[in-house]
Structure 1
Amino acid sequence: MYVVTNRRIQESARGVAQFGDAPNEGGNNNLRLAHVSRAGDAWRVEFIPDEPLASDEVEALVEEFGLPIDPAEPQYPSLRVACELARRVRKDERHVLFFVHGYNNDMGDVLKTAQALEERYDVEVVSFSWPANGGGVRGKLSYKSDKRDARASTGALERVLKAMHQYLEWITRARRARLLDHAEREHRRNQEARDELYARLLREDCPFTVNALYHSMGNYLLKQMLKSTINEGNDLLFDNVVLCQADTNHLDHALWVDLIRFRRRLFITLNENDYALSLSRTKLGSEQLARLGHYVQDLTSRHAHYVNLTGASWVRNSHSPFGEPAEKNDKVGEFFRAAFQGESAEGSLKYHPEGNWYAVR
Structure 2
Amino acid sequence: MLFITNRFPKGSIRSRKNRPFKFDLNNNAPSNSVFYCQRHPDGSMNEIMGENLMSELKKSDYRQVLLYIHGYSNLPDDVFEAAQEFQQLCDREKPKEVLVVPVIWPCDNDLGIINDYWDDQKSADSSASSFSRALNHFMQWRDQEAHKPDYAPCLKRINVLAHSMGNRVLRETLQAWNKYDLGAGVPMLFRNTFLVAADIENESVHRDERGRLISDASRNVVVYFAGDDLALRASKVANVRNKVASRRLGHSGPENMNKTPQNVYKVDCDDVNSRYDLKGHSYFRSDGDGNPGLVFKHIFQCIHSGRVFPEDPDQRSTVIRYED
**How do 1:337-348 residues align onto structure 2 when only pairs under 5 Å count?**
337-341=300-304, 343-347=306-310
Is this contact kept in 1: 2:285–2:295, CA < 8 A? no
| TM-score normalised per structure 2 | 0.78
1:142 counterpart SS class: helix
Report the CA distance between 1:270 and its aligned residue: 0.9
1:246 counterpart SS class: coil
Q: Work out the CA distance in 2 between the residues paired with 1:357 and 1:78.
A: 38
Give the stretch that moved more between structures: 121-130 or 212-221. 121-130
Q: Which residue of 2 aligns with 1:202?
A: none
CA RMSD of aligned residues (A): 3.3
Q: Which residue of 2 aligns with 1:272?
A: 227
Report the CA distance between 1:170 and its aligned residue: 4.6
Is this contact kept in 1: 2:198–2:250, CA < 8 A? yes
Report the CA distance between 1:257 and its aligned residue: 2.8
Among 312, 317, 320, which residue is 1:360 paired with? 320
Q: Which residue of 1 aligns with 2:36?
A: 33
Is this contact kept in 2: 1:98–1:127, CA < 8 A? yes
Extract unaligned runs of 5+ from structure 1.
Answer: 49-76, 179-204
1:6 aligns with 2:10: no
Q: Which residue of 2 aligns with 1:136?
A: 110
| TM-score normalised per structure 1 | 0.70
Q: Work out the CA distance in 1 between the residues paired with 2:313 and 2:291.
A: 20
Is this contact kept in 2: 1:274–1:294, CA < 8 A? yes
Among 251, 267, 287, which residue is 1:294 paired with? 251
Q: Work out the CA distance in 2 between the residues paired with 1:32 and 1:158.
A: 13
Report the CA distance between 1:143 and its aligned residue: 0.7
Among 287, 290, 311, which residue is 2:271 paired with? 311
1:320 counterpart SS class: coil
Report the CA distance between 1:281 and its aligned residue: 0.9
Is this contact kept in 2: 1:7–1:21, CA < 8 A? no
Q: Work out the CA distance in 1 between the residues paired with 2:212 and 2:47.
A: 36
1:82 counterpart SS class: helix
Q: Label 1:318 to 1:173 Cα distance change in 2 as closer, same or farther (>3 A).
A: farther
1:38 counterpart SS class: coil
Report the CA distance between 1:358 and its aligned residue: 1.9
2:27 counterpart SS class: strand
Q: Work out the CA distance in 2 between the residues paired with 1:85 and 1:131.
A: 24
Instruction: Calculate percent identity across the aligned residue pairs.
Output: 23
Q: Work out the CA distance in 1 between the residues paired with 2:291 and 2:313.
A: 20
Q: Label 1:150 to 1:174 Cα distance change in 2 as closer, same or farther (>3 A).
A: same
1:146 aligns with 2:120: yes
2:194 counterpart SS class: strand
Report the CA distance between 1:124 and its aligned residue: 1.4
Amino acid in structure 2 at the alignment position of 1:208: K
Extract unaligned runs of 5+ from structure 2.
Answer: 13-19, 92-97
Amino acid in structure 1 at the alignment position of 2:187: D
Report the CA distance between 1:206 and its aligned residue: 6.1
Q: Work out the CA distance in 2 between the residues paired with 1:9 and 1:206.
A: 31
Q: Work out the CA distance in 2 between the residues paired with 1:33 and 1:135.
A: 23
